[in-house]
Structure 1
Amino acid sequence: MIEIKKLSFSYLKGMKVLDDIDLNIGTGECLALIGPSGVGKSTLLKCLNGLLKPASGSIQINQKEIIGISEKEI
């Protein structure tokens, strides 16, 4: 299970790309991220896999917080 709570991210220029995102993905569920260019789809995925560190919020995979842990641990 993946649980995202109040996730926010801004790039250096201060433009908020993700703003208080809440999302729950249950075990065995599939999810498609769709939308126009520049709305944060890739940014969300990069936060999920640890390539970007969110400004605020939490990301848990199987009830383990992943923000701030190594890629190997994820």
Structure 2
Amino acid sequence: MDEPASYFLTLLTNETTAYESVTFMEAILKLGAVLFLVLANSFFVGSEFALVSSVATDFNCAQQQEIVLPKRRSDC
């Protein structure tokens, strides 16, 4: 019963690196990288939301003006 549930993570590390401490600069760099990725993700989510909203606005505007929009092709 002393065996870990998964040996996968133990294969990725060896015993010399498993207990090394992280320096302050490494921690700051890793946190900065995470912050950068979160901000980049939020930018892409915001741009996708703007694109979807603009399509919905065009549809509502065309519906109010009774313009017939071409049907979208469905490749499902």
TM-score, normalised on structure 2? Answer: 0.20
Larger strand proportion of the pair = 1
Larger helix proportion of the pair = 2
Ranked by relative contact order (alpha carbons within 8 Å, sequence separation 6 or more), the top structure is 1
TM-score, normalised on structure 1? Answer: 0.21
